[in-house]
Structure 1
Amino acid sequence: MVDKRRSVVLADVDSMYVSAERIFNVGLNRRPVVVLSNNDGCVVARSKEAKALEIGMGEPWFKVRTRPSCRDVVALSSNYELYGDFSSRLATLCGQLAPRVEPYSIDECFLEFPAGEALDAAVCARERSARWLGLPVTVGIGRTKTLAKIATNHAKDSGIGVFSIDALSRAERAELLASIPVGEVWGIGGRLSARLAAHGVTTAKALADLDPGWVRRAYTIVVERTVRELQGVSCIPLTEQPAPRRSIMHCRHLGQPATKQDEVAAAASAFAQAVSAKLRRLDLAVPAVTVMLSTGGFGTGPPHHAQATQGFPVPLNAAGQLATTAARLARGAWRPGHRYKRVGVLASDLVQARRAQSLWPDDPRHDKLAAVLDTITARHGRDLAGYGRSGIRGPSGWDWRMRQEMRTPRFTTRWDELPVVS
Structure 2
Amino acid sequence: MAEQVLALVDCNSFYASCERVFRPDLAHTPIVVLSNNDGCVIARSAEAKLLGIKMGEPYFQIRDKLRRHGILAFSSNYALYGDMSQRVMTTLEGMVPAIEVYSIDEAFADLTGMPGDMEALGRAMRARVLRWTGIPVGVGIATTKTLAKLANHSAKRWQRQTGGVVDLRDPDRRDKVLKVTDVSEVWGIGRRMTEHLAEMNIRTALDLAQADAWTLRQKFSVVVEKTARELRGTPCLELEEATPPKQEICCSRMFGKRLRELPPIREAVATYAARACEKLRAQQSMCKRVRVSIRTGMFNPDEPKFAKGVVVELPYPTDDTRLISKAAADGLELIYREGFAFSKAELLLLDLRQRGEFTDDLFAVTQPEASERVMGVMDAINARWGRGTLRPGGVPEEPDWGMRREMISQSYTTRLDQLWPVKAE
Is contact 1:40-1:77 (8 Å) kept? yes
Matches of 2:10 and 2:182, distance apart in 1 = 21
User: For 1:86-136, what per-residue CA distance to the aligned partner results, in whole angstroms no more than 9, with x for missing partners?
Assistant: 212222222222222111111111112236643232122111101111111
Q: 2:333 aligns with which of 323, 331, 337?
A: 331
1:191-270 pair list within 5 angstroms: 191-270=192-271
Matches of 2:367 and 2:135, distance apart in 1 = 47
1:333-372 pair list within 5 angstroms: 333-353=335-355, 359-360=364-365, 362=367, 366-372=371-377
Q: 2:166 aligns with which of 163, 180, 205?
A: 163
Is contact 1:12-1:152 (8 Å) kept? yes
Tell me how far 1:258 sits from its aligned partner. Answer: 1.3
Cα distance, 1:68–1:249 mapped onto 2, change above 3 Å: closer
User: For 1:15-71, what per-residue CA distance to the aligned partner results, in whole angstroms no more than 9, with x for missing partners?
Assistant: 111111111111111000001100011100000010011000011111111227744
Matches of 1:362 and 1:183, distance apart in 2 = 49
User: For 1:351-385, what per-residue CA distance to the aligned partner results, in whole angstroms no more than 9, with x for missing partners?
Assistant: 22466677445555544554454345445555555
**Partner in structure 2 of residue 82 of structure 1:** 80
Comparing 295-304 with 308-317, which one deviates more in the overlay? 295-304
**Partner in structure 2 of residue 307 of structure 1:** 309
Matches of 2:299 and 2:384, distance apart in 1 = 38
Matches of 2:218 and 2:294, distance apart in 1 = 42
**Partner in structure 2 of residue 421 of structure 1:** 422
Matches of 2:303 and 2:373, distance apart in 1 = 44
Comparing 275-284 with 70-79, which one deviates more in the overlay? 275-284
- TM-score, normalised relative to structure 2: 0.91
1:86-105 pair list within 5 angstroms: 86-105=84-103
SS of match in other structure, 1:346 = strand
Cα distance, 1:70–1:371 mapped onto 2, change above 3 Å: farther
1:344 alignment partner AA: E
Is contact 2:101-2:107 (8 Å) kept? yes
Identity in percent: 36
Matches of 1:121 and 1:185, distance apart in 2 = 25
2:56 alignment partner AA: G
SS of match in other structure, 1:180 = coil
2:349 alignment partner AA: A
Comparing 70-79 with 188-197, which one deviates more in the overlay? 70-79
Is contact 1:22-1:28 (8 Å) kept? yes
**Partner in structure 2 of residue 33 of structure 1:** 31
2:323 alignment partner AA: Q
Matches of 1:31 and 1:340, distance apart in 2 = 38
Matches of 2:365 and 2:388, distance apart in 1 = 34
Is contact 1:251-1:344 (8 Å) kept? yes
Is contact 1:140-1:149 (8 Å) kept? yes
Tell me how far 1:311 sits from its aligned partner. Answer: 1.0
Cα distance, 1:315–1:235 mapped onto 2, change above 3 Å: same
Cα distance, 1:229–1:335 mapped onto 2, change above 3 Å: same
User: For 1:110-163, what per-residue CA distance to the aligned partner results, in whole angstroms no more than 9, with x for missing partners?
Assistant: 112236643232122111101111111111111111111111111111112211
Matches of 1:124 and 1:68, distance apart in 2 = 36
Is contact 2:245-2:283 (8 Å) kept? no
Tell me how far 1:10 sits from its aligned partner. Answer: 0.9
Comparing 314-323 with 292-301, which one deviates more in the overlay? 292-301
Cα distance, 1:213–1:68 mapped onto 2, change above 3 Å: closer
User: For 1:272-320, what per-residue CA distance to the aligned partner results, in whole angstroms no more than 9, with x for missing partners?
Assistant: 1111222223322111111011113232212211101111121111121
SS of match in other structure, 1:187 = coil
User: For 1:148-179, what per-residue CA distance to the aligned partner results, in whole angstroms no more than 9, with x for missing partners?
Assistant: 11111111111122111224x62x43332121
**Partner in structure 2 of residue 113 of structure 1:** 111
Matches of 1:25 and 1:123, distance apart in 2 = 25
1:387 alignment partner AA: P
Q: 1:318 aligns with which of 300, 317, 320?
A: 320
1:117-196 pair list within 5 angstroms: 117=116, 118-159=118-159, 160-167=163-170, 170=172, 172-196=173-197
Matches of 1:195 and 1:351, distance apart in 2 = 38
Cα distance, 1:176–1:4 mapped onto 2, change above 3 Å: farther
SS of match in other structure, 2:5 = strand
**Partner in structure 1 of residue 8 of structure 2:** 10
Alignment of 1:22 with 2:27, yes or no, is: no
1:402 alignment partner AA: M
Is contact 2:100-2:239 (8 Å) kept? yes
Tell me how far 1:386 sits from its aligned partner. Answer: 3.6
Alignment of 1:374 with 2:379, yes or no, is: yes
Cα distance, 1:139–1:194 mapped onto 2, change above 3 Å: same
Is contact 2:316-2:366 (8 Å) kept? no
Comparing 213-222 with 28-37, which one deviates more in the overlay? 213-222
Tell me how far 1:388 sits from its aligned partner. Answer: 3.7
1:161 alignment partner AA: G
How many residues align? The count is 414
Is contact 1:97-1:121 (8 Å) kept? no
Runs of 5+ in structure 2 lacking a partner?
Answer: none
Matches of 2:156 and 2:40, distance apart in 1 = 24
Runs of 5+ in structure 1 lacking a partner?
Answer: none
Is contact 1:276-1:317 (8 Å) kept? yes
**Partner in structure 1 of residue 285 of structure 2:** 284
